[in-house]
Structure 1
Amino acid sequence: MLIQPVADLLSRNADHYLIPADVVANVQTNNNLYHAFLVLTKVKYSKIPVLDHGGHFEGLVSLPLITEQMLGFDQLNTEILLQKRVCDVMETRVKTVQNVDDVEETLHLMIDNPFVPVVDEQRIFQGIVTRREFMKSFNFLTHEIGKQYDMIEKDFSTSEKAK
């Protein structure tokens, strides 16, 4: 559990964490892998959200998932990119958050992920929270917490000697 001063300062910037869905590169479940490969290459990301026609979040697709499909024994099979769909290879077991203000849950998810998808109650894709945006706020926190709160330095050397 986050201590209250940390939670307060991180929550203060919560409205800046969300990168809205309309500016996040994505593909749809029925797009072929060739299209997904082009989008990923063009935006220079290794992983992007996958949506259905209704804007519901369905999963993530990545360059490694696509290139794995092309690997043959002695050559690359690029024809497979036109034959297979994103839904055939996408990662579907993806943890999401509904509330950007839940700083602690989002932080836990970002330990292993560069971004966390944000969805509403109906799983409509709202956008992403990136580790980069969180780190900017954490940087702010480390510089401001002493100005906002009285910080008392604790002497841990005496408690270590008692053990």
Structure 2
Amino acid sequence: MLIQPVKDMLMRNANHYLIPADIVANVQADNNLYHAFLVLTKIKYSRIPVLDNAGHFKGLISLPMITEQMLGFDQLNVDVLMEKRVSDVMETAVKTVPNVDDVEATLHMMINDPFVPVVSDDGMFLGIVTRREYMKSFNFLTHEIGKQYDMIEKDFSTNEKPK
């Protein structure tokens, strides 16, 4: 559990955490893999959200997921890009958060992932929270916490506060 001063300082920048859905690159579940391949190649991101036609979050798609479909025994099968849909290969077991206020859960998810999808209770894709934005806040935190809170150095070898 985060101590309150840390949580308070991280939440000061909460309005910067969310990258809104309308500016996040995405594809739709019914798009063919060719379209997803082009989008991922052009934007140079490793993974992007997959949405349905109404804007509900359905999963994530990556270039490795697409190229895996093209691999044959002795050659690449690019025809599969037109035949298969994003929904055929996307990752659906994706952890999401309902808002940017759940700092601790978001931090745990970002250990392995560069971003976490923010999805409302009714499944609408709201945007993403990126590790980059959190790291900016941690940088701020490490430089400012001693200026804004009285910090008492603790001797960890004895588990006691200095006198």
TM-score range, shorter chain: over 0.9
Query: Where does 1:47-126 land on structure 2 (aligned, <5 Å)?
Result: 47-126=47-126
Q: TM-score normalized by structure 1?
A: 0.96
Gaps of 5+ in 2: none
Q: 3-state SS of the aligned residue for 2:49? A: strand
Residue in structure 2 matched with residue 144 of structure 1 by the alignment: 144
RMSD over aligned Cα atoms: 1.1
Q: State how far apart, in whole Å, the 2-side matches of 1:159 and 1:32 are.
A: 59
Deviation at 1:159, TM superposition (A): 4.2
Q: Report % sequence identity.
A: 79
Q: State how far apart, in whole Å, the 2-side matches of 1:33 and 1:2 are.
A: 42
Q: TM-score normalized by structure 2?
A: 0.96
Query: What are the Cα deviations for residues 120-148 of structure 1, in whole angstroms up to 9, with x where unaligned?
Result: 12110000000011001011100010011
Q: State how far apart, in whole Å, the 2-side matches of 1:9 and 1:132 are.
A: 16
Q: State how far apart, in whole Å, the 1-side matches of 2:118 and 2:78 are.
A: 33
Residue in structure 1 matched with residue 46 of structure 2 by the alignment: 46
**Partner AA of 1:136 in structure 2:** K
Deviation at 1:11, TM superposition (A): 1.0
Deviation at 1:158, TM superposition (A): 3.1
Query: What are the Cα deviations for residues 78-136 of structure 1, in whole angstroms up to 9, with x where unaligned?
Result: 11000000000000000100020110111011111110000112110000000011001
